[in-house]
Amino acid sequence: MINSVFPLSNRHDDAVPQPQGLRQLVAWRNLLEQCARKPGRKSVHGLRSLTLRLRTELEFGWPAQAPEPAAARAFRRWKREGKWLRKTLQPVRDADVSLARLRSLRDTGDASTRSRPALSKRCRREIDQLERLQQEQRRKRMVKLKTALDERGKRLKGLREEMDAAMATLLPLRAGKTAEAALGIFSALAAELPKLDGSNLHTYRKRLKQALYLAEMSATADPLARQYALAFRKIHLAAGEWHDWEALALRARRVLGRGSRKDGLVSVLNTLAGEALRRALALSRRSTARFLKTPAAMQLEAAPPKKPVASVAIEDAGEQALPAG
């Protein structure tokens, strides 16, 4: 069993001051233990995010330090196992996202807006129907996840030990100045995907995560990195919200049928997805103009802000409604 592979009693390493990379590995191991015992919403999301975040930080920090062959092999294994782990966690994560969005929709259903009226009785019934289905799917996926982690336990333990040894041979990672690398990724994305829309926004968001994580590495010490991190986080969350509503609308159409009435759930989800898509695209355009100095930049800088914009906290949890990814 994986709980014996990752013993819960080994907490002494948490109390010892450690380099950032080792602290991340300890946090990763602890989240893996939690998912093996009981794959809760936060632990599943946290493990997926931390796996990708750690990979990004290591990819940035290791090449400049010419790691020894053993360290390089450990990192290659980390990337392979991390890819498997994120893919294995994804079905449970998807169910959690759908359930969270359905709950948020029900909780705010009485508040009508200009573009969306209050939820009809029919829509509420359809929310209940889809929610029951998602809860059942979540239970089945949780069983499969625990089985997969059990079967992979020894391999993951070996990987963790290899990474511990590899990290001990390295100098501290280059976490001081990551703003330039983050902006480089953002600039390359803008050039590769100059016309964002619903067909490529999800790809854009997945690639943007690397820039976001790099910016966050030095955000506390570098004001420029902090600006990038705040802007990229806003795009990341907005694009994630769009993807959540879009995926949920597709699932609702499959369950409820394409002939759903205008006051039904599918229509509401399509409206929410459209609103979120417009917000995400607008945020991306503004950040592109601001940081890459496109022709629209001068207009944005000259125009006074309409109202103060609340800052987005730099945190990986993203638990407002569990955005995808």
Q: What pLDDT does residue 50 have? A: 93
Global pTM value: 0.78
Tell me how far apart the alpha carbons of residues 39 and 58 are, in angstroms, rounded to a whole number: 26
Taking the C-alpha atoms of residue 57 and residue 50, their distance in angstroms, rounded to an integer, is: 10
pLDDT band at 260 (very low <50, low <70, confident <90, very high): low
* % of the chain beyond a pLDDT of 90: 50
Show me where the domains of the chain are located.
Answer: 13-173, 175-292
Average pLDDT of 280-298?
A: 80
Least confident of 45-54, 62-71, 108-117, 200-209: 108-117
Helix (H) or strand (E) holding 124: helix 121-151
Is 73's pLDDT higher than 60? Answer: yes
Cα–Cα dist 241/211, whole Å: 19
What residue has token string 């290791």? Answer: 62
Tokens (6 digits) for 300: 């944005």
Residue 284 has pLDDT above 90, yes or no: yes
Q: How confident is the model at residue 5 (pLDDT cuts 50, 70, 90)?
A: very low
Residue 23 has pLDDT above 70, yes or no: yes
Helices 265-292 and 179-192, axial angle in degrees (round to 10):
120
Give mean pLDDT, residues 188-214. Answer: 94
Q: What is the pLDDT of residue 171?
A: 55
Per-residue pLDDT at 310:
33
Please say if the pLDDT value at position 8 is more than 90: no
Task: Kindly report the three-state secondary structure assignment for every residue of 159-225.
Answer: HHHHHHHHHHCCCCCCCCCCHHHHHHHHHHHHHHCCCCCCCCHHHHHHHHHHHHHHHHHCCCCCHHH
Residue found by looking up tokens 């089985």 in the block: 147
